[in-house]
Amino acid sequence: MPPFLELTDLDIAYPPRKVIREVSLIMHCAGIGCLLGPSGCGKTTLLRAIAGFEPVQQGLIRLEGVELSRAGWTLPPEQRRIGLMFQDLALFPHLTVADNIAFGLRGWKGSERRARVSDLLRLVELADFAKRYPHQLSGGQQQRVALARALAPRPRLLLLDEPFSSLDVTLREDLAREVRCILLREGTGGLLVSHDQFEAFTFADEIGVLQEGRLRQWDTAYNLYHRPADRVVADFIGQGVLLPGQVGEQGRVNTELGDVDGKPPVGCVAGDDVEILVRPDDVIHDDASPLQVEVAERAFRGAEFLYTLKLPSGARLLCLAPSHHNHAIGQRIGIRLDIDHWVMFRRNRAVSCVEAPPVPAS
Amino acid sequence: MPPYTNPPPQGGRGFWSLAAGIDRWTVLVVGLAMLLALPVLTVFLTALQPPGEVWRHLADTVLADYVLNSVTLMIGVGVGTLLIGVPTAWLTATCEFPGRRGFEWALLLPMAIPAYIIAYTYTGLLDFAGPVQTFLRLTFGWTRQDYAFPEIRSLPGAILMLALVLYPYLYLLAQAAFLEQSAAVLEVSRSLGAGSWRRFLTITLPLARPSLIAGMSLVQMEALADYGTVQYFGVSTFTTGIFRVWFGMNDATAAAQLAALLLLFVLTLLVLERLSRRQARFHHTGQRTQRPPRLRLSGWRRWLATGACLLPLLLGFLIPAGQLIVWTWRTAPQVVDDRFLELAGHSLGLAGGAALLILLLALLLGYGQRLRPRPVVRLAVRSAGLGYAAPGTVLAIGVMLPFAAIDRNVDSWAREWLGLSTGLLFSGTLFTLLFAYCARFLPAALHSVEAGLTRIRPSMDDAARALGAEPHGVLWRVHIPILRGSLLTALLLVFVDALKELPATLILRPFNFNTLAVRAFELASDERLADSASFALAIVLAGIGPVILLSRAISRSDHAPLP
C-alpha cells in the first residue's frame, strides 16, 4: 500500500526566490501532521502547493500513490480531493450556513446532499444555525462552519492554515482538540500549518519543523523535544540552553558544571568543542548540592518558578523549580543536572548524539 | 457519491495551465483588451501620418480658434464649477441650516440633465420670443431696439450651461473631502487661535485641494468632450471641428489628427486627475471616527446658506426641468406617437444591450486579471481603459476608421475572388455603435468591478476551488452573487450614460436609425425646441435613477461595505 502523503525533493520558487528547498516527507497513514515554523519559513507556501495553488519547480507530491504535482504539471485544486481551512475562514458571506456547507456538494443527489449537510451540522453542533448567515455567528461557530464546509465533499486530506490563531487561547485549544476528534472520526487526514508549538503538540501526531524553506526534522512531538536533529530544532522547540563543553577522555565531556558522562557525537575526538542541550527540567534545584549558582532572573508561573541562572563564566542556565522554592535575584542556589536525553552538538556543526545512558553529573 | 474522483490527467492540460505561460484566460483577456484599446490607438496612429492639404488649411485658418475656444471653455467651466461646487459642498458637509439634508442629495440632480438639453431649455427661455424677454418687453413697454440682452448662444453661454450640469462631479469629491477632515485638526487650529474664516482658508481648503483638482479635471474632461452644446450654440471647438472635417471635408486623417490633439488635452487632464487622487489619499487626516460638529449658522447667515444652495439647484435642475415639462405638456399629444415609442425602444434596447455587454466584458477583464496577475495581463487591461475620458467624437472616429478599412479590404477581396461585392459589413451597423459604447464606457464599469473584486479576499477563491469549483464557477457562484449590488449600480450608470450619448451615436448609427438623444438633437437643431422636449424629458427621467443611487451611497457611506 502506498504511503498516504508523500513529498519528494520538493522545490518551490517565486522566481527568483526559492521558498521551499528539497523538502521530503512521508505520512504513512491518514493521521494528523503539522508543519511548524516561524512566519516566513515557507510553511504556507508548502501547504498551498499541496492544495494545488502553487506549482512546484522540482520534486513530486503524491496522495495515496496518485501524483498531484510535479515540475511543469499541476493537477487543478478542484480535482485533488483536498480540503482547505483558512486563517480568515473565507466563509461565503452571501450563503447561509447550510448553503456554505453544501457548496462543495455539486453533483450530489438532492437527498444525499441534504443528508450530508445535516450530518455535518450535527457533527459540528450547529444544527439550529442552518439558516443563519456567517456574519450572524460567533468566531468559534464560524470556525465550525468552515470545518464542516471543508469536510463535506469527503476530502482525503484536510489542510488547515493556522485556522485557530484568530481565537483566544482557551477556545483555541478546545477547538483544536475537537477538530482532531472529528477528523479521526471522518477518517480524513489532516495537515496543519502553525507557528505555535503548543497548538502543534495538542493537534498533531507528527510534526515537521520548517526553517528558511528547509524541513529540519519530521517526527513526533516527543522526539522533537527530546531528540532534536539539529541545533535549529533544539532552539525552536521548547526552552533550553546550549552549554559549552569539551570532549575529554573516554567519552566524558568537561563542562563548567564538572565532567558529565554523555556520549559525544560520532566522530568527535578528545579536545573537540561541543554543546550540550540543557532543558529547564534537566536542572534540578537541590539545596544540598555543592554546585551553587547565582539567580539572574526569575519568572513566577503559578505552580513553578522559572529561574535564569548565571554561571561564573557568564553562561546562562534555565531551571524549573517548584514554586515554594522562592529565591531572590542575586541569591545563590544549589542545583544538579539530571539529564535523561543527552543531546550534544559539535560546535559549529549540527551533528546530534541522542543515544546515551543517563548519567548525572558529579 | 464523491464529486471528484477523476484520475489526474497526464500532459495535455498542463501545457495550457502552466508551462507555456499561455492559457485560455490570458489569451481571452489580452485579446479583448487589445480590441477595446483599438479605437484610441487608431486615432494616435492615424495622427502620425504626414499632415495633408486639409490639415494645412485647418492650421492656417480655424485651428487657432478651435484651440482658443476649447481652452477658454475648459478654464471657464473649471472656474464655474469651483464657484458653485466648493461653497455648496462646504455648506452641506460642515454647516447646519434650513434644508441642508435635502440639499445634500438634491444638489446632485443637475447631473441628470445632459448639457445639450439644458442648452435647449435656456435658449427657449432666454431668446427673443422666450418668456423672459417677452415679460421684460411687456412690463416696461420696450421694443427690440430699446434694450440689450446677453446672447445665451455664445461661448460664455456654453460655459454657464456646462458648469450648471457638471458641478455635481466636483461637489461630490469636495463634499467627501470635507467630511473626511478630522475634528482634531480643526480643533488644534482653533486652539491656536484661528478664526472660522481663517480656518477655512488655511486648513479646510488646502487639505481638500487634491480632491478639488481631481474633481475639476474630471469636469474639464467632460467639457472638452461636449459636442451637443457647443454645436447648438455655434461655438467652434475641437469636437465641432472634428465633425466638420469628417462630414464636411471628408478627410479622415485630418479628423483623426484633430481628435488626437483633443485627446492630448484630455490625457493631460487625466494624468492631473490621477495624480491628485493619489495625493488625496495622503491628505487624509486621521480617522473619520471623530467628525467635527456641524457649524450652526444663525440669523441671516442661515438663509444666505439656503439661498446659496438653492440657486444652483434652481438654475441647474428645477428651471430647465420645469421648462421641459411645460413644453412636453404642450407638444406631447403631437409628438408622442408610435414613432416616439419606437425611438424609446431603440434607446432602451441599445443602452440596455450595451450595459449588459459592458458589464460582462468588465467582469471577464477584472476576473481575468485576478486569475492571472501577470504583467502582460495588467498592461492589457490598463490599455483597455484608454477609452476612459476619450470624447465620444474621438472614439467614433477611432472605431470608424479600422472597420471601414476592413470593409474595404473584404469587399475588394470578394470582388476579386468571388466576383461579388460584400458592401459594408461593419460600418453603419449596430455592431460598430455597440463597440464604440464598450470602448467609451467599459473603463467606468471595470473600475467598479475591480473595486468590488479587491474587497473579496483571495482565500475566498481558493476555498471555492478546493471545494471543487472551476475558475469560471468561482466567478459565477461566489463573486457575482457577492458583488450583486455594485454590479447593478455599474449596470445602471452605464445604461444611463449610453442613453445620453450623442456624438458617437450621431456618427456611427445605422442609416435611418434614431434614438431619443439623436431625435432631441435633430429637432432642436431644426428650431423645434418644444417638440424636442418629450425626448429630452425621457432622457432626464432615466438620468435621475443614478442620482438617487449616488445619494443613497453617500448617506450609507458611514457603514462598512461587504467583506
The widest CA-to-CA distance across chain A, in whole angstroms, is: 77
**Please, are residues B199 and B186 in contact by the beta-carbon 8 Å criterion?**
yes
Q: Out of A135-139, A295-299, B202-206, which region has the weakest mean confidence (pLDDT)?
A: B202-206
Does residue B7 surpass a pLDDT of 70? no
- Delimiting residues of CATH 1.10.3720.10 domain(s) in chain B: 40-278, 333-556
Whether residues B14 and A78 touch (CB distance < 8 A) is answered with: no
Helices (H), B234-315: 238-243, 252-282, 300-313
Distance CA B362, CA B483 (A): 13
Predicted local distance difference test score (pLDDT) of residue B8? 38
Across residues B467-473, what is the average pLDDT? 90
Name the CATH superfamily, with its identifier, for domain B333-556: MetI-like (1.10.3720.10)
DSSP symbol at A162: S
C-alpha cell at A155: 476530502
Distance CA B303, CA B281 (A): 34
DSSP A304-345: EEEEEEE-TTS-EEEEEEETT----TT-EEEEEE--SS--EE
Rounded to 10 deg, the angle between the B529-556 and B338-371 helix axes is: 30
Q: Given 3-state DSSP classes, what are the helix, strand and coil percentages for chain A, each rounded to the nearest 5?
A: 25, 35, 40
Q: Distance from A28 to chain B by nearest Cα, in Å?
A: 21
DSSP symbol at A165: T
Does residue B166 surpass a pLDDT of 70? yes
Distance CA A147, CA A137 (A): 14
Contacts 24+ apart (CB under 8 A), B326-329: B327/B124, B327/B529, B327/B530, B327/B533, B327/B534, B328/B533, B328/B534, B328/B537
Q: What is the pLDDT of residues B475-494, one digit of tens each?
A: 999 999 988 888 888 888 88
CB atoms inside a 10 Å sphere around CB A297: 12
Distance CA A103, CA B292 (A): 46
Predicted local distance difference test score (pLDDT) of residue B2? 38
Tell me how far apart the terminal alpha carbons of chain A are, to the nearest angstrom.
51
**Please, are residues B224 and B73 in contact by the beta-carbon 8 Å criterion?**
yes
Predicted local distance difference test score (pLDDT) of residue B281? 66
Top CATH class of B40-278 equals: mainly alpha
C-alpha B29: how far from chain center: 24
* Residues whose CB falls within 8 Å of the CB of residue B557, separated by 6 or more in sequence, listed in order: B176
Q: Distance from A41 to chain B by nearest Cα, in Å?
A: 20
- Which residues numbered 131-170 in A keep a CB inside 8 Å of some CB on B? 149-150, 152-155
Which phi and psi (to 5°) does residue B476 adopt?
Answer: -75, -40
Q: β-pairing, A273-278 with A241-247? A: antiparallel
Distance CA B396, CA B387 (A): 11
Distance CA B154, CA B122 (A): 12
- Residues in chain B with CB shorter than 8 Å from the CB of A66 are 7-8
Whether residues A73 and B470 touch (CB distance < 8 A) is answered with: no
Q: Which of B3, B462, B470 sits opposite A105 (nearest CB)?
A: B3
Query: In which band, very low, low, confident or very high, does the pLDDT at B14 lie, cut at 50, 70 and 90?
Result: very low
Angle of CA points B51, B53, B55, to nearest 5° = 55
Please indicate whether residue B290 or residue A202 has the higher confidence score (pLDDT). A202
Query: What pTM was computed for the model?
Result: 0.79
C-alpha cell at B106: 438634491
Across residues B168-175, what is the average pLDDT? 88
- Interchain CB contacts (distance < 8 Å): A and B: 105
Please indicate whether residue B5 or residue A333 has the higher confidence score (pLDDT). A333
Please indicate whether residue B322 or residue B486 has the higher confidence score (pLDDT). B322
Predicted local distance difference test score (pLDDT) of residue A322? 87
3-state secondary structure of A242: strand
**What is the residue type of B496?**
V
Predicted local distance difference test score (pLDDT) of residue B256? 87
Q: What is the pLDDT of residues A151-203, one digit of tens each?
A: 999 999 999 998 887 777 778 888 888 889 999 988 899 999 999 888 888 88
Predicted local distance difference test score (pLDDT) of residue A248? 80
**Please, are residues B408 and B393 in contact by the beta-carbon 8 Å criterion?**
no
Query: Which of A163-177 are b and which e, b meaning 16 or more Cβ less than 10 Å from the residue's Cβ?
Result: bbeebeeeebeebbe
Nearest to B546 by CA among B102, B178, B105, B221: B105
Q: Quick one: closest CA in A to B20, which residue?
A: A72
